[in-house]
Structure 1
Amino acid sequence: MKYTYVLLLCALTLSGCNNNQKSANKNADGIVLKTDSIQNIDIRHQIANANGLNSWNKVSEIAFTFNVDRGENHFHRSWIWKPKTATVTMISATDTINYNRSQMDSLTQKTDAAFINDKYWLLAPFQLVWDEGITFSEKDNAVAPISKDTLNQLTIVYGNDGGYTPGDSYDFFYDKNLKIREWNYRKANAEKPTMSTTWEDYEDFNGIEIAKTHKDSTDNFKLYFTNISVEKETAN
């Protein structure tokens, strides 16, 4: 059975940084390492920082397994990412693929699309800062799509140029502690959500806060992470 639905779960935009972050440090993968030197920090940076972005500059390797349960069907694949050198390893049931994100070709692009998808679910609070070409708006006292709790809402819309599936949008529903609790994914910025899930089961991994579990309102869909590890550089 093909599990092509996995790649349709979220917008796949190339990792990078917002154009307003030119003064921030970046690593080999083009990722912003710190934001505390940026003036006028907006809500995107506040959410990213609340989830440990300022610890990212020390991360040398992050590994995780991406799992999806839909009804009785299960899908998983594992990743090892070394962001400072932009190297990625994908381990599936049938193959192991190694590549470098700074040296992409047509053969590795499909694997990278899968990596971007899975990494987005894992580190979406950081993607708010890392990704280029997005516009955003805020709303107080919004009704969350699943729990119907009253939360704050941050909506981001990706531009129509670049990335794997441009033009998509997300509604992030976050609490007073700046933790995402639910989100909508809206393909092509449609008015109605394409998918809504929870953000739950948060755990701190060496300073990086990760929501390990996402469920829809039917309990028929569950996306979750296992085998998570975060390694940091050791001081000389």
Structure 2
Amino acid sequence: MIYLLEILLKMKKIILLSILVSSVFTACKTDPKNHKAAITEDTELTVLEKIANANGFENWKEIESIKFTFNVDRDDEHFERTWLWETTTNNVTFMTRQDTITYNRKMVDSAMTATDGGFVNDKFWLLAPFQLVWDQKSFTHKHTENVEAPISKANMHKLTTVYSNDGGYTPGDAYDYYFGDDFIIKEWVYRKENQSEPNMTTTWENYKELNGLNISMMHKRPDADFSLYFTGLEVK
């Protein structure tokens, strides 16, 4: 019984970690209805478009699928889940050691809401620079220069986005992005329901380029034994 209790307690901790990580970054994010999105060379780019382009957004139209494993290490616990997103059809396959589920994001019913919420969360961590373009009608934003970044204390640009209170999994949330003159994100802050104090602050580091996409593979918190990172990344 003691052994069984230890197993149940460990499972409970892992489930709670999964819920925590998923609930942090599932705001009212949308997806590209047109993957060839409207960034053109003959108009002045907005700060949202500059950040997206610095991470290879202009190459997104060539991408047919993206596969990745979302990992979280916190203290002595590990959590992971693997996704395959076929971007042209919007089919998503969710893979764990126990099960494989495939669904289409255009037809998400109540039975798939929790799974889709997990995908939205994990995809947002992976492709947040692109979400700035895909979601731009869903939030207000403000760009400020020469702001002290919360982790490095270096002077950077700051972009704050506040999502609408309508729709999405966790509406009304706010994000502060910190980046240099190259428009590559170095740090960010999540603030639930646009409260003044941060709920989570992490780095953006270990960038990797795959088929023209520039993706941050590692995020760390300065105040906790916490790492969120990606493995098995495939871009086709």
Superposition pairs of residues 125-204 of structure 1, within 5 angstroms: 125-131=129-135, 132-204=137-209
Corresponding residue number in structure 2 for 1:23:
none
**1:29-78 CA-partner distances (Å, limit 9, x unpaired):** xx453512673321000100110001000100000000000000000000
- How far apart in 1 are the matches of 2:38 and 2:50? 12
Matched, 1:13 2:28: yes
- The counterpart of 1:101, out of the listed 99, 105, 108, is 105
Matched, 1:111 2:115: yes
- How far apart in 2 are the matches of 1:16 and 1:37? 23
| 2:21 maps to amino acid | V
Q: Which has the larger radius of gyration?
A: 2
Superposition pairs of residues 17-28 of structure 1, within 5 angstroms: 26-27=33-34
Cα deviation, residue 163, structure 1: 0.7
Corresponding residue number in structure 2 for 1:21:
none
Corresponding residue number in structure 1 for 2:44:
40
Unaligned 5+ segments in structure 1 are: 18-25, 232-236
Identity of aligned residues (%): 45
- How far apart in 2 are the matches of 1:95 and 1:83? 22
Corresponding residue number in structure 1 for 2:4:
none
Higher helix fraction (1 or 2): 2
Name the stretch that deviates more: 35-44 or 117-126: 35-44
Cα deviation, residue 9, structure 1: 2.2
* TM-score, normalised by the number of residues in structure 2: 0.89
Corresponding residue number in structure 2 for 1:216:
221
**1:179-226 CA-partner distances (Å, limit 9, x unpaired):** 000000000000011100000000101100000000000350100000
Matched, 1:229 2:229: no
**1:144-187 CA-partner distances (Å, limit 9, x unpaired):** 11111111100000010011100000000001111000000000
CA RMSD of aligned residues (A): 1.4
| 2:74 maps to amino acid | R
- How far apart in 2 are the matches of 1:177 and 1:37? 18
SS at 1:104 equivalent: coil
Name the stretch that deviates more: 66-75 or 146-155: 146-155
- The counterpart of 1:65, out of the listed 63, 69, 72, is 69
Superposition pairs of residues 80-95 of structure 1, within 5 angstroms: 80-95=84-99
SS at 2:64 equivalent: strand
| 1:201 maps to amino acid | N
- How far apart in 2 are the matches of 1:11 and 1:42? 24
Given the superposition, is the C-alpha separation of residues 127 and 38 from structure 1 closer, same or farther in structure 2, using an over 3 Å criterion? farther
8 Å contact kept, 2:27–2:163? no
